[in-house]
Structure 1
Amino acid sequence: FTFVTLAEVLEARGGPLLEEEVWSLLLGTAESLVDISYKGPNNMCNIISPTSLLLSATGTLAFKNCGLSDEVSTFTAPEMLQGRASSTKPMLVYSLGMTLYWSVDFHLPQNQPVQLSDHLNSLLLSMCEDLAHRRVNLNSILEACESQHKASILLSPAKVIRQLVEEVFHDSVSPVTCSMLLSRSNISLSAGVCAYVLIYTRKSK
């Protein structure tokens, strides 16, 4: 697989994600997190950020494990920053919400408001509640995304991911390959396999 990060996609574009792209990414990541949660908490990362959310040219998603640092503190759940983390899923909901807010605000002029519908804005806000028990859960996010996709006839997550990755290639930014990421980050290897959590493999029909 060849991956690019969400941050690299937006750098290549020079602007934010569109609302329909956010809905598709949110659906894809929510499906992924629900799927992987069934495999146990040991398979889940704790923080999602623009530099750890990986998109592939085949339309799949992966997460790069990243530890707590100043670079990702903005996207880290308050309970994790305060050392009182209990459940992984609410922390990931917070991280994902903050990451998507960052993506719709990317390079916008200060006097230009974020272009989001009330529906999506309120959903993202509910993902970013400071108190974990007040955050919307993954299943509710999934239901909201699925109903939005049916109502608006949006593109599948896989198609949107492929389109976003193509933008990076067309902009001639070097794609992030497995070996490149390994050389510049602390990703552990298991039996010589790149230690990504590859969690979204549904193909569009």
Structure 2
Amino acid sequence: MSSTFVTLAEVLEARGGPLLEEEIWSLLLGAAECLMDVSYKNNMCSIISPTSLLLSATGTLAFKNCGLSDEVSAFAAPEMLQDRAGSTKPATDRQMLVYSLGMTLYWSVDFQLPQNQPVQLSDHLNSILLSMCEDLAHRRVNLTSILEACESQHKASNLLPPTKVVRQLVEEVFHESVDGSLPDSNIPLSGRSQMIRERLHSEY
């Protein structure tokens, strides 16, 4: 584990349970802001997954570039899986990352929940995550709309800023690593994320 960054997967493993709704709102806002910034610089990663979303001790988020492997393919947008060799436009890339981010955050609220137990999300947040995970890219919510929804929610509910939430999540991992062993970063992603895909489709 890096002394500066931890992955979202390590955060969840240290906690041993899912993220809370207010934490998801903050991560969604922080990640959307980061993606907007990165996309303007044309330096985007290709897939976001729990092992490639990085949280820093200073409260920032970053994305580690990861190729399309079997483990992360369940977080990849359907159009990426269908056109592995094809080149896409920046706007299309952004919509693929919206899908990946939605799947990753849904995985985070579903982490280690029994299969028959519903995730604990408000209808508002659930509908945003569902619209991020639409199979058809043109039906997905875009980054600008995600940002607006998150900013509105933060003001209405007086939520903590993303930097503070990220720092708290990172501190949980470091606290856990001092008390015991480091979190196991080899959490199986593919099987669980496939179950989430099925659960998402059952919501429609």
Alignment counterpart, residue 6 of structure 2, candidates 4, 12, 18: 4
Pairwise CA distance, 1:111: 2.5
Q: Is the 8 A contact 1:94 1:128 kept in 2?
A: yes
Instruction: String of CA shifts for 1:70-99, please: whole Å, max 9, x gaps.
Output: 000110000000015632100000000000
Tell me the distance in 1 between the aligned counterparts of 2:99 and 2:65: 16
Is the alpha carbon distance of 1:37 and 1:11 closer, same or farther for their aligned partners in structure 2, counting shifts above 3 Å? Answer: same
Pairwise CA distance, 1:38: 1.4
Q: Is 1:78 matched with 2:78? A: yes
**Counterpart for residue 30 of structure 2:** 28
**Counterpart for residue 48 of structure 1:** 48
Tell me the distance in 2 between the aligned counterparts of 1:27 and 1:81: 27
Instruction: String of CA shifts for 1:164-191, please: whole Å, max 9, x gaps.
Output: 000001111548xxxxxxxxxxxxxxxx
Q: Is the 8 A contact 1:55 1:62 kept in 2?
A: yes
Three-state SS of the structure 2 residue aligned to 1:171 is: helix
Q: Is the 8 A contact 1:16 1:103 kept in 2?
A: yes
Three-state SS of the structure 1 residue aligned to 2:114 is: coil
* The structure with more strand, counted as a fraction of residues: 1
Pairwise CA distance, 1:113: 1.0
Tell me the distance in 1 between the aligned counterparts of 2:152 and 2:18: 24
* The structure with more helix, counted as a fraction of residues: 2
Alignment counterpart, residue 123 of structure 2, candidates 118, 121, 125: 118
Is the alpha carbon distance of 1:18 and 1:85 closer, same or farther for their aligned partners in structure 2, counting shifts above 3 Å? Answer: farther
Equivalent pairs counted in the alignment come to 174
Tell me the distance in 2 between the aligned counterparts of 1:85 and 1:168: 38
Tell me the distance in 2 between the aligned counterparts of 1:160 and 1:55: 10
Tell me the distance in 1 between the aligned counterparts of 2:173 and 2:29: 22
**Counterpart for residue 57 of structure 1:** 57
TM-score normalised to structure 2 length: 0.82
- Unpaired stretches in structure 1, ≥5 consecutive residues: 176-205
- Unpaired stretches in structure 2, ≥5 consecutive residues: 184-204
Tell me the distance in 1 between the aligned counterparts of 2:182 and 2:15: 14
Paired residue type of 2:45: C
Tell me the distance in 1 between the aligned counterparts of 2:87 and 2:40: 20
Moved over 3 A (4+): none
Alignment counterpart, residue 14 of structure 1, candidates 13, 16, 24: 16
Pairwise CA distance, 1:36: 1.5
Three-state SS of the structure 2 residue aligned to 1:4 is: strand
Three-state SS of the structure 2 residue aligned to 1:103 is: helix
Paired residue type of 1:23: W
Three-state SS of the structure 2 residue aligned to 1:67 is: coil
Three-state SS of the structure 2 residue aligned to 1:16 is: coil
Tell me the distance in 2 between the aligned counterparts of 1:85 and 1:143: 29
Matches within 5 A, 1:1-205: 2-40=4-42, 43-83=43-83, 86=88, 87-172=92-177, 173-174=181-182
Paired residue type of 1:2: T
Instruction: String of CA shifts for 1:110-166, please: whole Å, max 9, x gaps.
Output: 232100000000000000000111100000000000000000000000000000000
Pairwise CA distance, 1:51: 0.1
